[in-house]
């Protein structure tokens, strides 16, 4: 007696059929055109992508240099570093927006804990503490 396929099995079977059709289509193209033209197209696409990324990196560097007027700060931001004395704006430029922020307003200061790299429920790979918008410390878990 034959058993019926589960949804997962039928989904995997469908993906295999699609992959096989793509493979057959590529094989037919290669048989018709040979390897030279597809290879040139792929190389051109890779070069275009790398050129685009280089332009984007150059634009980001120029933007950061105009914004901060300090090459050391710009290089630290580009390298995604954080340090004591860093402003919250520099931290966002360096690491991006945090996954979560815990705020605690005290009598004469504001203390925030910015959390990055979630690893589970209320577990994070990096917690950066800011007082009045300035980095004062962090806890990083490997």
Please give the model's pTM, rounded to 2 decimal places: 0.69
Residue with tokens 């589960």: 6
Spatial contact of 102 and 115, defined as CB atoms under 8 Å apart: yes
* Token code pair at residue 45: 């696409």
From first to last of its 142 residues, the chain has per-residue pLDDT tens of 677 878 888 889 999 999 999 999 888 888 887 878 878 888 999 999 999 999 999 999 999 999 999 999 999 999 999 999 999 999 999 999 999 999 999 889 999 999 999 998 889 999 999 999 999 999 998 7
* Nearest Cα to Cα of residue 75 among 85, 66, 65: 65
Side-chain-side CA neighbours of 142 within 13 Å: the count stands at 0
Q: Under DSSP, is residue 83 helix (H, G, I), strand (E, B) or coil?
A: coil
């Amino acid at each position: 007696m034959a058993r019926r396929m589960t949804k997962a099995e039928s989904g995997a079977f469908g993906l295999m059929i699609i992959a096989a059709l793509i493979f057959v289509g590529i094989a037919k193209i290669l048989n018709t055109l040979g390897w030279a033209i597809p290879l040139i197209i792929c190389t051109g696409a890779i070069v275009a992508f790398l050129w685009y990324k280089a332009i984007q990196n150059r634009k980001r560097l120029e933007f950061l240099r105009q914004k901060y007027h300090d090459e050391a700060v710009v290089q630290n931001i580009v390298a995604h570093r954080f340090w004591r004395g860093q402003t919250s704006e520099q931290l966002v430029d360096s690491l991006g927006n945090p996954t979560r922020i815990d705020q605690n307003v005290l009598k004469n200061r504001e203390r925030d804990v910015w959390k990055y790299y979630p690893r589970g429920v209320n577990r994070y790979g990096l917690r950066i503490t800011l007082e009045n918008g300035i980095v004062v410390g962090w806890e990083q878990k490997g």
